[in-house]
Amino acid sequence: MRMKLLLRATSCLLCFAACSSQYPFLTRAESVKAGILKNDCVKHNVTSANIAVADSLHGLATSLMNNGKSKQAYSFMYIATVYYRIAMAKHGYEETSRQIATLESSIAQAKEQLATYSRVLDELNGQ
């Protein structure tokens, strides 16, 4: 019984040690993701308050990482990545909304032309 308990405790400790040692790697991976998303924001002229928040979180995470606080750095870097994604999603939504409004206007104009052509055709058929 004691052996099983000791074995379980040892395996839990090893799992914890393995997970905690991965934070520098995870933080660097999130930093790469954040950098790619930021470049996409610049490329697509996305400007919003979310980008400013993401930039500040990215900077904070980088300084934490440099100070050896990789677990906290990972948390802030992950949140920064989320803010960049939110900015991109809002931009995409706004662009799509504008396109829909333009298409709806075009449809309304096409319906007006169709009604005009139908009236002209009815007049020509009536003669």
Task: Identify the pLDDT of residue 88.
Answer: 92
CB-CB contact of 65 with 24 (8 Å): yes
Between CA 83 and CA 34 the distance in angstroms is 9
Between CA 7 and CA 14 the distance in angstroms is 11
Domain positions in the chain are 21-101
List C-alpha distances in Å: 112 to 88, 107, 125.
Answer: 36, 9, 20
Task: Identify the pLDDT of residue 65.
Answer: 86
Task: Identify the pLDDT of residue 19.
Answer: 57
Tell me the mean pLDDT in the region 54-67.
Answer: 90
Predicted TM-score (pTM) of the model is: 0.70
Task: Identify the pLDDT of residue 105.
Answer: 94
Tell me the mean pLDDT in the region 88-99.
Answer: 93
pLDDT band, residue 31 (cuts 50/70/90): confident
pLDDT band, residue 15 (cuts 50/70/90): low
Between CA 123 and CA 76 the distance in angstroms is 70
Task: Identify the pLDDT of residue 123.
Answer: 86
